[in-house]
A and B are shown apart, each in its own frame.
Chain A
Amino acid sequence: DAGITQSPRYKITETGRQVTLMCHQTWSHSYMFWYRQDLGHGLRLIYYSAAADITDKGEVPDGYVVSRSKTENFPLTLESATRSQTSVYFCASRPYNSPLHFGNGTRLTVT
């Protein structure tokens, strides 16, 4: 979707390294979300944010950190990457009382 950009598209990192996945949206949507997608599990919520400086945990937050100093950006940091964090990560946003809009994802491999 043109209004929400994730970077990088692909990332390979080693176990124990810190890695940050970037998400930028141009719509000024209030809400932003991070999901991970794994075979057999669908999409699982990691963290979400209702506005700048407001974040909260989702279903699978362990090992991840988020921040939201500006409305348009919502980076996701893996402080010490583990192999179990190998996944495809999707950022999403939405305005109040509207459906989710997803980015095109970041495929992360932890070796």
Chain B
Amino acid sequence: GENVEQHPSTLSVQEGDSAVIKCTYSDSASNYFPWYKQELGKGPQLIIDIRSNVGEKKDQRIAVTLNKTAKHFSLHITETQPEDSAVYFCAASYNYGQNFVFGPGTRLSVLP
């Protein structure tokens, strides 16, 4: 079955700097890769996603890149702000599927 690894487990950056979180997946059949942000006491919220027919997708300060050959995808946050502090999860699935396999999460702290 699919296995998703995520690094780093914790990340601290200064406000205004960029943050990068990386994930690798094992199943070459996976073709949908969402990223979720979880704030304290809340459920994960989708922030961006990418399908395997696209190499990069941007939404304001957030971007996701996908390397199908290497089976890894990354979340890039530019000009970080304190409200970006949260736990971020990557996931992989086949055609949305019945089972999104999630990475273990990255705790991002943006220091003022």
Interface range, B side = 20 to 34
Asked whether A42 and B104 contact (CB < 8 A) given A97-B96, A98-B96, the answer is yes
**Main SS at interface, chain B:** loop
Q: Is the CB of B43 within 8 A of A1?
A: yes
Q: Is the CB of B43 within 8 A of A40?
A: no
| Cβ < 8 Å to A, chain B residues 42-59 | 42-46, 49
Q: List residues of chain B with CB within 8 A of the CB of A100.
A: 34, 44, 46, 100
Interface range, A side = 20 to 34
Residues of B participating in the A interface, judged by any CB pair closer than 8 Å: 4, 6, 34, 36, 41-46, 49, 89, 95-96, 98-100, 102-105
Residues of A participating in the B interface, judged by any CB pair closer than 8 Å: 1, 31, 40-45, 48, 50, 56, 58-59, 90, 92, 94, 97-105
